[in-house]
């Protein structure tokens, strides 16, 4: 079974600084999808970024980028120029294909210090 591990239960970052959240996963598949979801205090689940395993280029979305290391099964999220609104729980997730259920990590709670 696929598993997703987030080894950092909590992280903090100064406003305007950069922070990296770690995620590792285990799968025997060669094609799959990886995601980062953000859950602010409002409890909504907001898609931050998505990476297809067949793409070698790392995905970026404005201040958010990933470092996808397929051989190491690592998928970290980098948040640049951190803002107070980035404070949230961040979940790493895996799916075998785009139309299959997500497997989530336990999450990393990110605090942003003004």
Partner 1 sequence: DSGVTQTPKHLITATGQRVTLRCSPRSGDLSVYWYQQSLDQGLQFLIQYYNGEERAKGNILERFSAQQFPDLHSELNLSSLELGDSALYFCASSVDGTQPQHFGDGTRLSIL
Q: Which of 103, 107, 97 is nearest to 33 (CA)?
A: 97
Per-residue binder mask for partner 1 (CB under 8 A), 51-90, x = binder:
----------------------------------------
Torsion on CA atoms 30, 60, 76, 82, rounded to nearest 10 = -170
Using CA of residue 63, residue 93, residue 91, residue 25, what is the dihedral sign?
Answer: negative
Q: How far is it, in rounded angstroms, from Cα 89 to Cα 48?
A: 12
Q: Least Å distance between CB 67 and partner 1?
A: 19
For partner 1, the binding residue among 11, 104, 109, 111 (CB under 8 A) is: 104
Where in 11-40 is the site for partner 1 (CB under 8 A)?
33, 35, 37
Counting contacts by CB under 8 A, is residue 41 touching partner 1? no
Q: Least Å distance between CB 100 and partner 1?
A: 7
- Are 32 and 53 a contacting pair, CB within 8 Å? yes
Name the site residues for partner 1 (rule: CB under 8 A): 33, 35, 37, 42-47, 50, 91, 97-107
């Amino acid at each position: 079974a696929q598993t997703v591990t987030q080894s950092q239960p909590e992280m903090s970052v100064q406003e305007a600084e950069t922070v990296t959240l770690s995620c590792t996963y285990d799968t025997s598949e060669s094609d799959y999808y990886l995601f980062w979801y953000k859950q602010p205090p409002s409890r909504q689940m907001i898609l931050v970024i998505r990476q297809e395993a067949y793409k070698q280029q790392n995905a970026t979305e404005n201040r958010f980028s990933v470092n996808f290391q397929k051989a190491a099964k690592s998928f970290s999220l980098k948040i640049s120029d951190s803002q107070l609104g980035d404070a949230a729980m961040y979940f790493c997730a895996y799916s075998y294909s785009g139309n299959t259920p997500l497997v989530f990590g336990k999450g990393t709670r990110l605090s942003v210090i003004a």
